[in-house]
C-alpha cells in the first residue's frame, strides 16, 4: 500500500495534532542516533523524524545511513526544536533500501556544480537540483496551460526529418547504413537510397516548417519537443539536444508575434513564482551566495526574485536591429574598444553585443526586430526596404537570445527567390511551398529555447544545469 503515504510537502502544512501518518523518503542526515532528516523529493524542506532513544533496535538504527530509503509510520507532533513547526515521532521504521555511507558519492557538504555534473545520475538528490527540476516541471506545465487557454493545438512534429529547417547545416545524421563500407553510388558518394528511409535523414533542428503546415489549417498550433544541433559550441548557453517551444499562428504579423511572445514569457514566469515560491527562494539564496565570490562589478544588481518581478512588471524594450547597431556604435564600450568582435550594420550580433544592450544599456529584456536579410533564415518575410526581414529575437539579461522568431514569407514568388539565393532546394520542400500555393495567409511564429528559459528563472549560469542529462560536444554520459 505505497499510495497510503503522505508527501512531506503536504505533511509540513498540517497543524500538528497527533495525526498518524506514513512517510517514505531518503535519509539526508541522522544526528545523535535520534533525529533523521528525511526527504522525499516533494520539497527541499526535510521532515524531522524522531526515533526516540531506546525504542528501536540497534540493528535498525545502524542501517539509518545517508541516502538509505525508509518507510516511517508515526504521529505528527509540534516540534520543540528550532527550525521546524512539527516533527514526526516514529512508531515503526522500516528500511526499504540500505546505503553504504562510505561509498555514497554525495557527502553532506557543498559540492561544486562541475562535480555534480559528473554524477548527474545522483544530482537530483541535492537541494539545488531538486529545486531546479521542480521549477522546470512547473514551467513546462505552464507552457501547455498557456497555449491550451488560448485554443492552440499541440502538434507533435517529427524528430526524424529529411529537411534542414534552419538551413544552417548543423544536423545529426540518422542512418542504419554500416559505418564501414557503406553502399556507394556511381560517383563514389554514400548511397542513401539504400538507407532505412530510402533517403538521407537527420534529427530535427526545429519543428517550424511542419508547424507552419499545421497553423495554415488549424489556425494556431505549438510544438514542444526536443531539437538537435550539431554546432560545436562549447558555451554555457548551447546544448546539442535542447527542448524548444514553437508556436505558429495564421493571420498574424510580427507585432502580434512579439505581443504573444512577451505575454507567454511573463505567464510562465508568473506560474513558477506562484507554484514554486520555496524552490525559487532557495535558488535565489544559492545565487546570492555564488555571486559573493565575484568582484562587485560582476554581481547582478537585482536578486533572482527581484529580477523576475522586474520582468513581470515592465514592458520589454522594442528596437530595430538598425537602432541596436547605432546604440552599440555610440556606446562607451565600443569607443573604449571593449568589444572583441566587429560592430557594423550587417553583422550577426555576438553574445557580447547582445549582453551589452540588455544588461548595460536597457537593463531589461529587449526585442530586436528587422534584421538584415542575409543573416537570417530563408523563410522570413522580406520588408519593403529590400534589405531587412520581419524577424524578432528576444534577448534576456544574463542569457542573451532566448527567443528567435519572425513573420513568414507568405508570397510564393518572393519565397522562391530567397530559397534560390540561399541554395535551399525548392524540389525537396515542395510540401512546404504548397501552403503558399493553396490559400496562403500572413502568418508568424517563434521558438523559445526551453533550457535558456529554465536558466533565466532558476539563475543557473550554465545550461548544463538546466536539463537533466546534458548533451554537449564530447559528452553524452548517462
Q: Under the criterion CB under 6 A, does residue 404 sit at the interface with ligand 4AD?
A: yes
Q: Under the criterion CB under 6 A, does residue 445 sit at the interface with ligand 4AD?
A: yes
Q: Under the criterion CB under 6 A, does residue 212 sit at the interface with ligand 4AD?
A: no
Q: Which span sits near ligand 4AD by CB under 6 A: 238-246, 325-333, 336-344, 421-429?
A: 238-246
* Residue 354 interacting entry, from Mg ion, ligand 4AD, none, C-beta within 5 to 8 Å by type: none
Of 87 and 210, nearer to ligand 4AD (C-beta) is: 210
Of 133 and 371, nearer to ligand 4AD (C-beta) is: 371
Q: Which residues are CB-contacts of 19 (< 8 A; sequence separation ≥ 6)? A: 75, 76
* Residue 72 interacting entry, from ligand 4AD, Mg ion, none, C-beta within 5 to 8 Å by type: none
| 316 conformational bin, left if phi > 0, alpha if psi -120 to 50, beta if neither | beta
* Residue 405 interacting entry, from Mg ion, ligand 4AD, none, C-beta within 5 to 8 Å by type: ligand 4AD
Per-residue cell: 430: 515542395
Q: Which span sits near ligand 4AD by CB under 6 A: 60-68, 123-131, 268-276, 439-447?
A: 439-447
Q: Under the criterion CB under 6 A, does residue 440 sit at the interface with ligand 4AD?
A: no
Q: Under the criterion CB under 6 A, does residue 397 sit at the interface with ligand 4AD?
A: no
CB of 345 to ligand 4AD, least distance (A): 20
Q: Contact with ligand 4AD (CB under 6 A): which of 74, 214, 397, 447? A: 447
Mark 164-203 with x for binding to ligand 4AD (rule: CB under 6 A) and - for no binding: -xx-------------------------------------
Mark 120-159 with x for binding to ligand 4AD (rule: CB under 6 A) and - for no binding: ----------------------------------------
Q: Contact with ligand 4AD (CB under 6 A): which of 50, 239, 265, 466? A: 239
Q: Under the criterion CB under 6 A, does residue 238 sit at the interface with ligand 4AD?
A: yes
Q: Under the criterion CB under 6 A, does residue 449 sit at the interface with ligand 4AD?
A: yes
Q: Contact with ligand 4AD (CB under 6 A): which of 28, 125, 134, 229? A: 229
CB of 394 to ligand 4AD, least distance (A): 8
Q: Under the criterion CB under 6 A, does residue 402 sit at the interface with ligand 4AD?
A: yes
Q: Under the criterion CB under 6 A, does residue 208 sit at the interface with ligand 4AD?
A: yes
* Residue 25 interacting entry, from ligand 4AD, Mg ion, none, C-beta within 5 to 8 Å by type: none
What residues line the site for ligand 4AD (CB under 6 A)?
Answer: 165-166, 206, 208, 229, 231, 238-239, 242, 244, 246, 401-406, 445-447, 449, 451-452
Amino acid at each position: 500500500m505505497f499510495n497510503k503515504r503522505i508527501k512531506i510537502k503536504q505533511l509540513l502544512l498540517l497543524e500538528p495534532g497527533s495525526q498518524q501518518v506514513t512517510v517514505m523518503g531518503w535519509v539526508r542526515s541522522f544526528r545523535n542516533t535520534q533525529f533523521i532528516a528525511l526527504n522525499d523529493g516533494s520539497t527541499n524542506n526535510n521532515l524531522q523524524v524522531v526515533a526516540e532513544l531506546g525504542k528501536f533496535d540497534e540493528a535498525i538504527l545502524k542501517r539509518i545511513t545517508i541516502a538509505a530509503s525508509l518507510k516511517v509510520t508515526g504521529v505528527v507532533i509540534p516540534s520543540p526544536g528550532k527550525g521546524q513547526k512539527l516533527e514526526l515521532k516514529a512508531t515503526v521504521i522500516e528500511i526499504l533500501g540500505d546505503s553504504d555511507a562510505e561509498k555514497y558519492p554525495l557527502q553532506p557538504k557543498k559540492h561544486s556544480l562541475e562535480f555534480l555534473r559528473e554524477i548527474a545520475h545522483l544530482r537530483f538528490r541535492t537541494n539545488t537540483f531538486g529545486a531546479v527540476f521542480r521549477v522546470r516541471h512547473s514551467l513546462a506545465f505552464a507552457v501547455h496551460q498557456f497555449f491550451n487557454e488560448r485554443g492552440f493545438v499541440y502538434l507533435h512534429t517529427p524528430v526524424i526529418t529529411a529537411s534542414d529547417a534552419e538551413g544552417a547545416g548543423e544536423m545529426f545524421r540518422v542512418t542504419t547504413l554500416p559505418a564501414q563500407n557503406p553502399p556507394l553510388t556511381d560517383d563514389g558518394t554514400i548511397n542513401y537510397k539504400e538507407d532505412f528511409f530510402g533517403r538521407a535523414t537527420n534529427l530535427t533542428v526545429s519543428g517550424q516548417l511542419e508547424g507552419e503546415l499545421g497553423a495554415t489549417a488549424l489556425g494556431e498550433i505549438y510544438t514542444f519537443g526536443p531539437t538537435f544541433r550539431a554546432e560545436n559550441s562549447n558555451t554555457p548557453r548551447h546544448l546539442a539536444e535542447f527542448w524548444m517551444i514553437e508556436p505558429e499562428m495564421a493571420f498574424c504579423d510580427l507585432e502580434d508575434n512579439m505581443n504573444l511572445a512577451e505575454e507567454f514569457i511573463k505567464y510562465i514566469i508568473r506560474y513558477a513564482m506562484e507554484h514554486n515560491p520555496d524552490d525559487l527562494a532557495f535558488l535565489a539564496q544559492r545565487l546570492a551566495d555564488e555571486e559573493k565570490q565575484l568582484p562587485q562589478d560582476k554581481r547582478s544588481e537585482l536578486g533572482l526574485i527581484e529580477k523576475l518581478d522586474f520582468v513581470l512588471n515592465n514592458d520589454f524594450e522594442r528596437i530595430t536591429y538598425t537602432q541596436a547597431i547605432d546604440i552599440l556604435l555610440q556606446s562607451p564600450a565600443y569607443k573604449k574598444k571593449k568589444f572583441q568582435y566587429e560592430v557594423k550594420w550587417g553583422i550577426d550580433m555576438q553574445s557580447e553585443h547582445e549582453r551589452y544592450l540588455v544588461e548595460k544599456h536597457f537593463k531589461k529584456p529587449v526585442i530586436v526586430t528587422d534584421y538584415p536579410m542575409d543573416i537570417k533564415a530563408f523563410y522570413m518575410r522580406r520588408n519593403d526596404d529590400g534589405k531587412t526581414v520581419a524577424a524578432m529575437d528576444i534577448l534576456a539579461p544574463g542569457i542573451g537570445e532566448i527567443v528567435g522568431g519572425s513573420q513568414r514569407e507568405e508570397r510564393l514568388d518572393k519565397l522562391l527567390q530567397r530559397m534560390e539565393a540561399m541554395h535551399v532546394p525548392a524540389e525537396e520542400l515542395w510540401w512546404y511551398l504548397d501552403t503558399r500555393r493553396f490559400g496562403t495567409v500572413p502568418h508568424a511564429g517563434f521558438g523559445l529555447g526551453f533550457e535558456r528559459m529554465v536558466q533565466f528563472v532558476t539563475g543557473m549560469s550554465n545550461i548544463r544545469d538546466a536539463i537533466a542529462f546534458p548533451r554537449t560536444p564530447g559528452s553524452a554520459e548517462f
